[in-house]
Amino acid sequence: MMASRDSGRAVAGGLARHIPVLGRSTVEFLAVRPGGVYVDATFGAGGHTRDILAAAHCNVIGIDRDQSAIARGADLVREAGSRLVLVEDKFSNLEAVARSCGYDAIDGVVFDLGVSSMQLDEAARGFSFRHDGPLDMRMGRDGPTAADVVAAASERELAAIFATLGEERHARSIARAIVAARGQAPIHTTRALADIITGIVHARPGAIHPATRTFQALRIFVNGELAELAAGLAAAERALKPGGRLVVVAFHSLEDRIAKSFLIERSRPSAPSRHRPAPAQTAATFRILTNRPVVPDEAEIGANPRARSAKLRAAERTDAAIANRNATRLLPPLPSVGEVVARQKSGRPR
């Protein structure tokens, strides 16, 4: 199950002060120092940014693809003065964002993955089955919506999306029901989709809502979150200076698996090959700092139950040159949202 990464709420005039999941551990692993430059790649409610700014007289670049998150951070920008810059962008572009802010290399990057509580609570964003609203789910302002995917994807594609990204055991039955329902009327709202799912997967006492995994899978797919994570990790590798720190907080097994695989690969020299001379072997670009992921203690889980599934991994950048290693091979074999929607617009059979 995907947890929410922010426990704060928007209040009049800006952001509510809140404690981000594993916030103390994040700052400790970043080893924040005076004069350092840090990227909060998932600004959200600003919790990690606030903690980093409080840890030392340093500078922070906050990135978020959600325009409303950037707007809500205005008060924190004024409070921090010249030490904080907020940028509306995808974190896969963090290297270019840092350069646009005048930094060729940075001292630390934190990724706090997943959807925020504020996004879940806004019915108009279409993230939650608990609030009826348009079936949107986009973190940014452009691209196809979840309604577009539900209308365009084949039954086989829908089943693969739900099974792979939501780990939904009833993926085939749900996909079949969606295709049958959309043949009668378009599925435009979160309630309409949730009702279809609850007709297939019945609620059990104490279990998560039957629509949880399907909504999670659609959101990850619509926003290309796993591809964005792979690209973001590679961008951090390029942007970090030697000794710089990378921290990833994940709430979903697929995200954590990608982060873990990336760091393991980057922390080991490439295997010798009879086709390459020894000097061409790839050196390790990261030193892993967490042999096992850091998880919240019972006190933090008690204060914020959504923290239960969180896992933190951290690593330190070495001085090794970066080799040409493609992080996209860490991704599950699914079509992109653009490919699915383009096929429908082209009129090709699904």
Percent of the chain having pLDDT more than 70? Answer: 85
| Per-residue model confidence (pLDDT) at position 49 | 97
By three-state DSSP, how is residue 22 classified? coil
| Per-residue model confidence (pLDDT) at position 204 | 83
Q: How confident is the model at residue 242 (pLDDT cuts 50, 70, 90)?
A: very high
Show the 3-state SS of 214-270: HHHHHHHHHCCHHHHHHHHHHHHHHHEEEEEEEEEEECCHHHHHHHHHHHHHHCCCC
Q: 28: alpha, beta or left, given left = phi > 0 and alpha = psi -120 to 50?
A: alpha
Arithmetic mean of pLDDT, 185-204: 93
Average pLDDT, the chain: 88
Q: Which residue did the predictor score with more confidence, 149 or 204?
A: 149
Arithmetic mean of pLDDT, 261-268: 94
Arithmetic mean of pLDDT, 220-247: 96
| Predicted confidence (pLDDT) at residue 44 exceeds the cutoff of 70 | yes
Arithmetic mean of pLDDT, 109-134: 71
| Per-residue model confidence (pLDDT) at position 325 | 76
Domains of the chain: 10-117+225-323 (3.40.50.150), 128-223+333-346 (1.10.150.170)
* Chain-centroid distance, C-alpha 15: 20
Q: How confident is the model at residue 7 (pLDDT cuts 50, 70, 90)?
A: very low
Q: How confident is the model at residue 167 (pLDDT cuts 50, 70, 90)?
A: very high
pTM, 2 dp: 0.88
267-282: pLDDT as tens digits = 988 665 555 555 556 8
Beta bridge partners of 15: 10
Q: Which residue did the predictor score with more confidence, 142 or 162?
A: 162
| Predicted confidence (pLDDT) at residue 190 exceeds the cutoff of 70 | yes
